Chains A and B, each alone.
Chain A
C-alpha cells in the first residue's frame, strides 16, 4: 500500500509508458487509492464522469444499457485505465463498471488529471499518442466491419 507499489503498477499501464518515475509518483500521490468489493459500482452509464480509474488489481465488468437491461460487453483488468474519455471530454459515462471481484483502484479526479496534463506536456503527448492509436484501430475496425458488411 505504498506509492512505490502503485508506481510499479502504473508503469505497466500502456498509457504511461514513456513517463518517468517521479511523475508517476506524483500521479499516484494525487489519486485516491480505493478498494471496491464484488458488485460495487465504479461508475454508472449516463452519469457525469468526474474521475478515471487505474486498476491495480482485480477485474471489472463493463456493462451497457440495452432495452433488455444491462448487458456485459467486456471486462477490464489489471493495469488498464478506464473512464479516461469522460474526463478528457465532457461526455456522460458511456458504460457502467461493476467490480467483478475485490478490486484495488487508483481514482484520478478530472480536475487533477487535467492539471497534471497542463503541468507536464509529455504526459499529454503520451495520452494523445495512445488515443490516436486507439482511433486508428477503431477506424480500421470500422472499415473492416463495413467491408465485411458490404461483402456479405
Chain B
C-alpha cells in the first residue's frame, strides 16, 4: 500500500517547517537573488556622491576609465548613464523578486488549500459529526490566505533587513564602541518585553480566529434553518446570539489593538530614547576631545538608518507570530488520528466485489446513543434481497453504512465475498456498491449531471489539444505538479459507460430514461423538459420534430372548432388579443432569453425603431393611460389586501412614482418633463398590456391597425438584419422560448376558461403520438436543479439519487429508507426496484415490518443488536 508513512498521516505542525519542507530550494534562490541586489543598491547610493563631488565639483580632468580618458562633461554623462542603468537593474530585480515571491506564495497556498480539502475527504464519516462546514470553509478559504503572502518573505525579509542592520551597527561600532553599545542598549529590553506582549497577542488572535469560526458557523446555520427561525419567531434570539458573538469579537480585537500599538509605542519610544544617549555620551566625548564632531554626526546619521530595518524586523516578527498562529489553528483541525490514507481516495484499482455480504461480530459506535451496533453477525447470500428492519436509532442505518463500507467497524469484520471492506479503497467501494441512504444529496447542476454522477470516477478519455489550447493545458499540468495537485482533466469524458452497461452516451440516456420510468420520475422530467429551452444547433432533428408537432397542432385546431376557440395563433396580419402588446408590436422575441420585458424598451434597436415612427410617444401615452387607470382603481385599496400585487402591472411601492409621472404627463409642461427612465418605464408598462385580459379600452381598432403596420416595418427594418431579435415564423424554432411555447404557435386565449389546460392536453397527446416525449424528457435532463436541488421536491431528489445508484450496475445495492411508504405508488416502486435488481444482492432498510415481510430474508435490529432473523 502506498503512503502509509508518517508524513502522510500528519501535517507539519509549524508554519516554518511547512514552508521549508515544500519550498527550501526556492527560498534559497530568493535569498541569493536578494544578496545580488546588495552591491547594486550600494553602488546606487554611492554614485550620487561621486557625481556631485567628483564630476560636478572636481578638477584635474580627464579621468581614466577602462583605459579611456574622459573629460568633465563626458565623465558626467558616463556617471549619469551608469546611474540610470543601475536604477533599471535594481528595480527590475525588485520586480522580478516580487513576482517570484508572489508566485511562490500562491503555489504554496494552492498546495495547502488542496491538502486541507483532501484531508476533509479523508475524514471518516463519524468525524463530520464533530465539525461543521461553517467552520471548515473559512479555514480553507480565508484563514490560510495570509500564509500565501508570508511564504515569499519568510526567509528573505529577515535576511535582508537583518543584513542591513548588521552593516549599520558595524559602522557605528567602528566609529566608537561605546556609542555602538548605546545604540543597541535598548535592544535587550525590547527583545525581552516585546515577545511577552506578543505572546498575549498571539493567544488573543487565536481566540479571535475561533470566535470568527463560531460566527461563520452561526451565520451558516441561520441560513440553513431560516424557515425554522421564522416559523418559531426566533429571530430575536438569533440576533442576540450573533450580536453577543460580535461583541466578543470586538472585545478581543480591542485588546489586540491595545497590545499591538503598545508594542509599536514601545518600539518608537526606545528608538527615540537612544539619541538621548548619543547626545549625552557623544557630546561628553566630543567635549573631552575623545571623539571628533564629524564622527558623532555620522553615527547619528547611521542610527537614523538603523530604525528602518529594526522596524521592519519587528513587523516581521509580529507577522510571523500571527501567521504562525493562524496556520496552527487551522491545521490542528485537519489531523484527526483516524484519518484515512490518501490512497483510499487516489487508488484507481477496482476489485471485483462479488459474493455474500457477511458481518462477523461487528461492533460500531457513531459516538452517540442510538448510533451504535453491538456484536452483529449476519450473512446475506449473493444475489438475494434482504430487508434490514428496525426503527430509527436501532442501528439499522449504521449496519447498512457498514455494509457499504462507508464506516468502519470498531471490532469485527465486514466482508463482501472474501474482501474485508475496511481494506478496500473508494475505487472499489464506490463503484461496486450502490448505496442510497435516507438523506440524499443532489448537487447543484443539471439533472443529467446528477443522474450520471455515480459514473464519474476518473477522466476516461484523452482530450486532443493543439496550439494555444495545448500550451494552456501543459501549463496547468506543470502547475498542478508544482503544487502536488491532481492532474485529472476536467474537460475529458468522465462517464464510465462500460460500468453502466452501455456503449455510447445516447444509450446511457435511454438507460437513464428506462430507470426514471421505473422510479416514476419520467412524468416530472417531461414537464420540466416542456418548460426548458433548448439550443437547436445541438440537435437539428429535434427542432424539426417540434415544428412538425406545431404544424399538426395547427391542423387539428383548424379542424376542430372547439379547439379553435381556445387559442389565438400567431398571424402576421391580425392582432393577437391574448398576447402582450410587445409581442404584437415586434412579432419577435429577443434572442437572449435573459432579457426581460422591463429591459426591452432600453434596447438600442428598439429605441431607435420606436422613435423613427413616432411610436415612442404613442406607447408612452398608452403607459400613462394604464398608469392612470391603475391609480384610479387602486388608490383606495390598501397595500395589504394583495389585490394590487396580483392584478395590477404596478406594485404598491411603484404607485407614488407612477403617480408623479402621470401628473407630469397630464400637466403638459415640458419642464421638468419625464426623464428617460420614466419614459422607459411607461413604455414597459404599455408593453405588458394583454388587451383580452386587461380590457382597459386603450386598444382601439385604429391603434391595432397601426401596430400591425408597425410590426411589418419592424420585421422589415430591424429583425431582418439584426440577430438581437427572432421573428415569429411558423417554420422556425425559437430558442429563447420554452419548448412548450414552441410547440404551440400562438397563445391560449385568456378569455376562455381552462384554455391553457385543454390545449396542453391536446399538445400532450400529439407529443405522445409523434414519439416526441422521449426527446423532451432528454431536454428536461438539462434542467438546472438549483442549489443542492432546491428546485426539486424532496421526493424528486430521492428518486434522482435512486437512479444514480441504479445506473452504476453495482453487484451489491444498499437502500435505506427509500420507497418505504405503504402507498400504491411506493409499492409499485419497490416492485420495480426488485425486478431491476433481481439476481443482484440487495439490502433494503426499512422501519416497517409489513414492508420487510415482502422480502425473503430479513434481519431485525433492536437497540443495536440483532433481535431476530428469518432466512
Residues of chain A at the chain B interface (Cβ within 8 Å): 1-4, 6, 22, 25-26, 28-30, 32-37, 40, 107, 112, 115-116, 118-120
A37 — which chain B residues lie within 8 A by C-beta? 562, 565
What chain B residues lie within 8 Å of A35 (beta carbons)? 565, 751-752
Q: List 29 A-B contacts (CB under 8 A).
A: A1-B691, A1-B692, A2-B695, A2-B697, A3-B629, A3-B695, A3-B696, A6-B695, A22-B633, A22-B636, A25-B633, A26-B634, A26-B637, A28-B695, A29-B647, A29-B694, A30-B643, A32-B751, A33-B693, A33-B751, A37-B562, A112-B647, A115-B642, A115-B643, A119-B636, A119-B637, A119-B638, A119-B641, A119-B643
Q: Which of A3, A40, A118 contacts B641 (CB 8 A)?
A: A118
How many positions in chain B have a CB within 8 Å of any CB in the partner chain? 25
Chain A residues near B629: list those with CB within 8 A. Answer: 3
Give the complex CA separation of A4 and B751 in angstroms.
Answer: 17
Write the chain A residue with the least CB distance to B700.
Answer: A2
CA distance A30 to B697 in the complex (A): 15
**In contact, A26 and B633 (Cβ under 8 angstroms):** yes
* Contact A30 B565, beta carbon cutoff 8 Å: no
The 7 closest A-B pairs by CB, nearest first: A2-B697, A26-B633, A115-B641, A30-B647, A115-B643, A34-B753, A119-B641
Asked if B420 CB lies within 8 Å of chain A CBs, one says no
Which residue on A lies nearest to B632, using beta carbons? A22
Residues of B within 8 A of A40 (CB): 753
Decide if A34 touches B752 in the complex (CB within 8 Å).
Answer: yes
Chain B residue numbers with a CB within 8 Å of A3 are: 629, 695-697
**Nearest chain A residue, comparing its CB with the CB of B637:** A119
Contacts of B632 in A (CB 8 A): 22, 25
Please encode chain B, from 617 to 638, with 1 for each CB lying within 8 Å of some chain A CB and 0 for all others.
0000000000001001110111
How many angstroms between the C-alpha atoms of A136 and B817 in the bound complex? 61
Complex Cα distance, B694 from A26, in Å, reads 11
Q: Which residues of A contact B753 (CB under 8 A)?
A: 34, 36, 40, 107
CB distance from B324 to the nearest CB of A (A): 64
Q: How far is the CB of B72 from chain A (nearest CB, A)?
A: 97
**What's the minimum C-beta distance from B62 to chain A, rounded to whole angstroms?**
102
* B751 x A34 contact (CB < 8 A): yes
Bound CA span A25–B636, Å: 12
Nearest-CB residue, chain B, relative to A22: B632
Residues in A whose Cβ lies below 8 Å from that of B636 = 22, 119-120
Distance (Å) between the CB of A58 and the closest chain B CB?
Answer: 14
Nearest to A106 among chain B residues (CB) is: B695
Q: How far is the CA of A112 from the CA of B646 in the complex (A)?
A: 9
Q: How far is the CB of B418 from chain A (nearest CB, A)?
A: 64
How many Å from the CB of B56 to the closest CB on chain A? 92
With the chains together, A112 CA to B562 CA distance in Å?
29
Q: In whole angstroms, what is the CA distance A33 to B647 when docked? A: 13
Chain B residues whose CB sits within 8 angstroms of the CB of A28 once the complex forms: 695
Q: Give the shortest distance, in Å, between B633 (CB) and chain A (any CB).
A: 5
Question: Given the complex of chains A and B, what is the CA–CA distance between A120 and B638 in angstroms?
Answer: 10
Give A26 to B643 CA distance when docked, in angstroms.
10
CA distance A36 to B753 in the complex (A): 8
Q: How near does chain B come to A117, taking the closest CB pair, in angstroms?
A: 10
Pick from B643, B646, B695, B752: contact of A1, CB under 8 Å = B695
Residue with the highest number of chain B CB atoms closer than 10 Å, among A29, A33, A37: A29
Additional A-B contact list (5), CB under 8 Å, known A1-B692, A35-B565: A22-B633, A34-B752, A107-B753, A119-B641, A120-B636
Q: Could you give, for residues 123-149 of chain B, a 1 whenever the CB lies within 8 Å of some chain A CB and a 0 otherwise?
A: 000000000000000000000000000
CA A40 to CA B693, docked complex, whole Å: 20
Interface centre among B646, B693, B751 (most CB of A within 10 A): B751
Tell whether, in the assembled complex, residue B633 and residue A29 are in contact, meaning their CB atoms are under 8 Å apart.
Answer: yes
A40 to B562, CA, bound (A): 10
Contacts of A1 in B (CB 8 A): 691-692, 695
Minimum CB–CB distance for A138 against chain B, Å? 30
B768 CB, min distance to chain A CBs, angstroms: 26
Please give the distance in Å from B791's CB to the nearest CB on chain A: 26
Nearest to A120 among chain B residues (CB) is B636
- The CA of A35 and the CA of B754, in the complex, are separated in Å by 11
